[in-house]
Chain A
Amino acid sequence: MTDILQIQSLNKSFGGIKATDDLNLSVQTGELHAIIGPNGAGKTTLISQLSGGQKPDTGKILFKGRNIAGQPAHKRASLGITRSFQITSLIMEMTVLDNIALAVQAGDGHSFRFLRPARSISHLRDRALELLKRVDLAEKADHQTVALSHGEHRRMELAIALASEADLMLLDEPMAGLGTHESHQMVELLRGIKGRHTILLIEHDMDAVFALADRISVLVYGHIIATGTPAEIRDNEAVQHAYLGEE
């Protein structure tokens, strides 16, 4: 199997805090790779450096063999990386459908168009509606985004990530703040897309992680202390000591 993503000696500090500390990680094409780690371990900071939201201090990010560490976020998106946000990041002033349609439009590649109303372009709308159906939000399509519940916002995040059809999906705690039922729903959604995309999943919900992941990496203080199959990680002593034991 080839690695779609290779992270080599990545470092990032905020003042005195080493949020990313000599981090090395490979993600194989097609796998669902989960990253677990305690609060403040640097998971979100890692995702941000991969998506281009933050610049690493040093180190390489090889995506499909090419170092993208210096590329801006929009470039990386066009190369095939998408992310969802731990803290819901939607365009609250727009409708649900408009949010998703914009994500579809981004992948469509014709955005310097000034004449036709975007809402009349049926292939964008149809695709957006289809995505909303997949996350079970079709009946909310015309609602204002701000009026939706937290759980619905989380599913919108997922629909947007799906819209891009990116080769690599970075999902930052898609289950953050969800109730039991909604979490189950999200696990099923992720199970449905697993295998079709390479996914780097950050998640605190251990049941979800062990149910979904092909491989798991454990991040502690910005450093990967172990990578392996769910079974290997469960039995790893260092991991139990550093992390799982505290649960």
Chain B
Amino acid sequence: MTRRTVLTIVVMVLVGLLPPLLYWSGNAFYLDLATRLVILAIAATSLNLILGYGGMVSFGHAAFVGIGAYAVGIPAHHWLYGGMDAIATTSGYVQIALAVGVAGFFALLTGLVCLRTTGVYFIMITMAFAQMAYYLILSIEEYGGDDGLVIDTRSEFAWISLDDPIQLFFLAYVSLVIAMLMVRMIVNSRFGMVVQGAKGNPERMATLGFNVYVFRLVAYVISGAMAGYAGALLGNFTTFISPEMMDWSRSGELMFMVILGGASTSVGPVIGAVVFIVLEEFLSHFTVYWHLPFGLMLMAVVLFARGGFVGMLTKRKGR
């Protein structure tokens, strides 16, 4: 086993066991924190597919998460208050299908445009589209606009109840593991090799006969759909959603997690999410400027430890 595999297993076992153990021993608070961490890790994992492996630095990933959350909130809202009968439901299956479908479709539409550009332009245009989604939701009064929307009824499934925090945590955790395995499978497939090749040398890939644009677009849609799923979980977790979920700073946080943890590694985004949650939780007690040390750490990692935390933790001596 490589060091990275060991690290992955250790981190995943800790993330899966520690929070429930704390919960059962009377520290419910930590389970809450961990559930949020795991959901963010799913979103970061989806971003890692395009940012880490594909070299597409999307600065609008929170939009997909937000869409996923509203795909739970809006049907639940109509189910309670009437209107829009076609989508009024508390069925988790329908809501998740909506979250994945709409987020994927939004990724397709925006990706068609964004992926015409690269570099800084790509960063700016993905951010611009996310802000558009933000203002769109903001402008719909029915869904609370600026004030946000309370989800009165969580998604309903046949076998599990998301009202039980431990079940919600395990659903999120299993989802994270599946998301990580999926991303791993995709990047190692023939499709994934092309996407990775296009990160390293798009001109070469085009010369070989690959339509880089189409490969990137497909990866972008998969990534957006996965982030939509994470958003559906996040909506169920917070039971309160607002356009603020789609703000560019949220997208930035996801980027931080991927880069800080270790882009293009399975466990990197998870470690990034851990660091983020820990910093946010503990530093925010001391200072409202808690983002500052976070930003400094990110800069340090980018400048001195390429490969993020995973890179630092798995570096062999004498190399």
B contacts with A, residue count (CB < 8 A)? 26
Among A82-123, those with CB < 8 Å from B are: 82-83, 85, 89-94, 98, 101-103, 105-107, 110-119, 121
Complex-state Cα separation, A160 to B206, whole angstroms: 13
Q: Please determine whether B209 and A118 come into contact, CB atoms closer than 8 angstroms.
A: no
* Size class of the A contact interface (CB-based, 8 Å): 35 or more
Cβ 8 A contact of A74, one of B185, B199, B201, B212: B212
Question: Chain B residues near A65 (CB, 8 Å)?
Answer: none
Q: Please determine whether B201 and A116 come into contact, CB atoms closer than 8 angstroms.
A: no
B210 at the interface (CB under 8 A from A): yes
B203 at the interface (CB under 8 A from A): yes
Among B189-212, those with CB < 8 Å from A are: 189-194, 196-197, 199-201, 203-212
Question: Chain A residues near B192 (CB, 8 Å)?
Answer: 114, 118
Question: Chain B residues near A90 (CB, 8 Å)?
Answer: 201, 204
Q: Mark B159-185, 1 if CB is under 8 A from A, else 0.
A: 000000000000000000000000001
Among B207-222, those with CB < 8 Å from A are: 207-212, 215, 218
B284 at the interface (CB under 8 A from A): no
Q: Please determine whether B204 and A77 come into contact, CB atoms closer than 8 angstroms.
A: no
B27 at the interface (CB under 8 A from A): no
A53 at the interface (CB under 8 A from B): yes
How many pairs of A and B residues are in contact by the CB < 8 Å rule?
Answer: 96
B188 at the interface (CB under 8 A from A): yes
Cβ 8 A contact of B190, one of A52, A78, A113: A113
Complex-state Cα separation, A107 to B205, whole angstroms: 12
Q: From B194, B196, B197, name the one whose CB has the most chain A CB atoms within 10 angstroms.
A: B197
CB-based nearest A residue for B194: A111
CB-based nearest A residue for B215: A111
B186 at the interface (CB under 8 A from A): yes
A60 smallest CB distance to B (angstroms): 21
Complex-state Cα separation, A121 to B193, whole angstroms: 12
Cβ 8 A contact of A89, one of B193, B204, B209, B218: B204
Q: Mark B56-95, 1 if CB is under 8 A from A, else 0.
A: 0000000000000000000000000000000000000000
Q: Please determine whether A112 and B204 come into contact, CB atoms closer than 8 angstroms.
A: no
The 9 A-B residue pairs whose C-beta atoms are closest, nearest first, are A77-B209, A91-B200, A106-B208, A73-B206, A117-B188, A113-B190, A118-B193, A118-B190, A106-B209
**21 residue pairs from A and B, CB less than 8 Å apart:** A53-B207, A74-B207, A74-B211, A74-B212, A77-B206, A77-B208, A89-B204, A91-B196, A92-B201, A94-B196, A101-B193, A102-B194, A103-B208, A111-B215, A112-B191, A114-B186, A114-B192, A116-B189, A118-B188, A118-B193, A160-B204
